[in-house]
Structure 1
Amino acid sequence: MKISELKYDVTPISLEYFKQRSFEIIFEVFNSMNTLDDELIKEYILTIGSDELYESLKYHYDIVYSSILTKNYDLLKDFFIWKYSVYKSRGVDTDCFLKEYELWKEVISNSLYISHSSEINIIYDYLILNHEKFKLNAQETKKIVVNKKYQELFDELLFCLLNGEKSKFYDLVQKNLNLFDNNIFLFIQELINPLMYKVGQLWQLNELSVAKEHLASSLIDEVVNYYIKDNFFEDSNKQKAITSTVGDESHNLGIKIVGKFLESNGFNVKNLGSKISNKELINSIYDLKPNLVVLSVTLPSNVATLQQIVKELKSDYNLFSGKIIVGGQGLFVNNKIIPIKEADFCSKNLEDLKEFLQTLK
């Protein structure tokens, strides 16, 4: 069932007040849900627990804010279809979300001036209107796209991951690298990245335990580190690059791969890792004065944070004059790029990144 389109602009002042009151709004929705005498809400909280509820509400806010800031409501729609599918797979009656939306509306109305709250609450009217459609669309699992000629190999690698067959996984990688001219980066692009997405999806849909998800992720990390060794030496004549995730990203394997790829293309690279504060990230860039900055988001909830960092870096060319590349799964919704203003380039994959690097030379 097709979900209706939302084409609507929230004024900058309303969005700013929504941002300023974010903590109070999230906390008040959290408290209201915990004290509400509603059976569906009670069962929902009992299933996921109070800690996960709070994190879920914070993630919800970040998605709504990012969608409004970038004016990309496909991001909003994609998130709620995902949310319905995840919690439905855990036995939650997703009709509880209707009550949650009403609570968001009520809290926002009490927290902001009426002229500002009415603009934000149009988003929640949209969610309520499309509730039944979200439920239907959530039944369709998003297909992980793999090149057809590698589908059989992908299935074998996935089987090894899910069953902890480490030696066989290594053998499959070694035996099939020649299909990619022994280029590990191409192998990662065509097979490792889709494998990572598939494992994450299985975990989200409650089809894979947390323990197995961690084991699979660790094995992927180990294999990548084995083939991409630290054999590049710093050279003062090379251009400098900084790589980092943005916001509260937990996984940094993807940006680590990008860093090694940049090293193989002649850059001295400093990887700042993950969960670095915006202030620390920006100050590091100002201090190190790199020629290139690559920032990645896996979670779409961090898109707004990425936009704000890029905007600040580009606001004063006396402090930073290099190029900014953005990328990561969080920037792509239904194969469409969420544009980040002021960024010099948005990279879909390593091949895409290589083409941009050639333009710099």
Structure 2
Amino acid sequence: MSAEQSNHFPAINKAHVVDAIINAYRLQQPEPFQRGGTAFEQKCREDIAYHLDYLNMAADADAPEIFAEYSRWLRDVLNSRNVPARCVAFSYELLITHFANHHPEESVLLGNILEAGIQAIDDDKLPQVAQTLPANALEAEKFSLLISQGAREQSRNLYFDKLKQSSSLAQTNLDLLQPSLYEVGRRWQINQLSVAQEHMATAICQNLMAQGFGKVPFAANNGKRAVFAAVEGAQHALGIQMVADGFEEAGWACDFIGANTPLADLLVYLDREKPDLLGLSATLPVDIAQAKRMTAQIRAELGNSCPVIMVGGLTTNYLPRSWELTGADIWAVNAVEAIKESK
């Protein structure tokens, strides 16, 4: 949803829905608002807006499992911080009532998705994004502990030992960095790591990737050019940087643009550079809607000069149907597979 309106349901005004749910919440449970004041209300508004974003994407895909996964993730984040997840289920119930009363034509679809979210909050399944490391990932487990503790020298030694043994930089990053960072994210989710530790771990990995990039031999230039970027609004770009580095190692000329790439600027860049491939990263479920919007507009604006569009990212890995929603030409689960798919 945009700031004001749902993409999938143009008759539903997002701001009005948020106001209505806040008023209903305050009427039925006034105590938290009295105790928490303006700060509590603002946090509730932000949370309900997020619920609506994920609800819209699940409705657009007719895929309740997308909303269920979001709800499991949110449940675990809240529970690990001693915040009862039933407050989220209560807000879903208020949304069901609101849509039934004010948008009956959409209430069945939206109600079914919200019910899937309530069931997910009450079940005991782990969100797929939070699955633990595989049993044989001993190096990745050790590395994740080192980077989250800020052990830069030990992290560097382990990374370069792995790089010497590996067939490529892309394979090293896939085998060591990617699962380690997933584990760091999982440990933040269950409140075992702070945001500061998560950011430190990411910074250490970025530094090691840059050092590794300067040490590996590159394949001969294959005459192809690729541009890689995270979709507009997405702040996570380390994964797509791994992909860009892997492509350059494999002989492509690559431009890595980074996080939160404005569509208007990307269009100008693509029109000028005319790459063979555009790689877009969608890390969070809400990024899928942006990838869809960007893909459609890039095709419309560039016409026959539009590059092949590849999409990937964490969300597309644990919700495999989601990549199809973007309208991209191809999808890959990681950097190594992306290089194979693009040959």
Question: How far off its partner does 1:54 sit?
Answer: 3.7
Instruction: State the SS of the aligned residue for 2:258.
Output: coil
Q: CA 1:331 to 1:172, structure 2 compared with 1: closer, same or farther past 3 Å?
A: same
Residue 321 in 1 paired to residue 306 in 2? Answer: yes
- Structure 1 residue runs of 5 or longer lacking an equivalent are 1-13
CA distance in 1, matches of 2:303, 2:211: 40
RMSD: 3.5
Equivalent residue, structure 2, for 1:185? 170
CA distance in 2, matches of 1:249, 1:199: 19
Equivalent residue, structure 2, for 1:102? 93
CA distance in 2, matches of 1:225, 1:270: 15
Matches within 5 A, 1:126-205: 126-128=116-118, 130=119, 133-134=122-123, 136-138=124-126, 142-146=130-134, 148=136, 151-181=137-167, 183-205=168-190
> C-alpha offsets along residues 107-133 of structure 1, whole Å, 9 cap, x if unaligned?
445664x323444333224434x2663
The match for 2:113 among 117, 123, 126 is 123
Q: CA 1:37 to 1:196, structure 2 compared with 1: closer, same or farther past 3 Å?
A: same
Residue 73 in 1 paired to residue 64 in 2? Answer: yes
CA distance in 2, matches of 1:223, 1:28: 46
Q: CA 1:159 to 1:121, structure 2 compared with 1: closer, same or farther past 3 Å?
A: closer
CA distance in 1, matches of 2:92, 2:81: 20
Matches within 5 A, 1:1-361: 16=7, 18-19=9-10, 21-25=12-16, 27-28=18-19, 31-32=22-23, 35-38=26-29, 42=33, 49-109=40-100, 112=103, 114-128=104-118, 130=119, 133-134=122-123, 136-138=124-126, 142-146=130-134, 148=136, 151-181=137-167, 183-229=168-214, 238-315=223-300, 318=303, 320-333=305-318, 338-340=323-325, 342-358=327-343
Question: How far off its partner does 1:287 sit?
Answer: 3.9
2:69 and 2:127 in contact (8 A); partners too: no
Q: CA 1:30 to 1:244, structure 2 compared with 1: closer, same or farther past 3 Å?
A: farther
CA distance in 1, matches of 2:188, 2:259: 21
Question: How far off its partner does 1:77 sit?
Answer: 1.7
CA distance in 1, matches of 2:184, 2:35: 25
CA distance in 2, matches of 1:304, 1:263: 28
Identity %: 20
CA distance in 2, matches of 1:241, 1:141: 28
CA distance in 1, matches of 2:149, 2:311: 34
1:246 and 1:306 in contact (8 A); partners too: yes
CA distance in 1, matches of 2:196, 2:64: 34
CA distance in 2, matches of 1:255, 1:354: 12
1:146 and 1:190 in contact (8 A); partners too: no
CA distance in 2, matches of 1:201, 1:43: 34
1:251 and 1:274 in contact (8 A); partners too: yes
Q: CA 1:49 to 1:290, structure 2 compared with 1: closer, same or farther past 3 Å?
A: farther
Question: How far off its partner does 1:315 sit?
Answer: 4.2
Question: How far off its partner does 1:29 sit?
Answer: 5.1
* Letter matched to residue 212 of structure 2: Y
Q: CA 1:299 to 1:132, structure 2 compared with 1: closer, same or farther past 3 Å?
A: closer
- Structure 2 residue runs of 5 or longer lacking an equivalent are none
CA distance in 2, matches of 1:49, 1:201: 26
* Letter matched to residue 15 of structure 2: E
> C-alpha offsets along residues 73-96 of structure 1, whole Å, 9 cap, x if unaligned?
322221111111111111112222
1:292 and 1:323 in contact (8 A); partners too: yes
* Letter matched to residue 131 of structure 2: K
Instruction: State the SS of the aligned residue for 1:325.
Output: strand
- How many residue pairs align between the two structures? 337
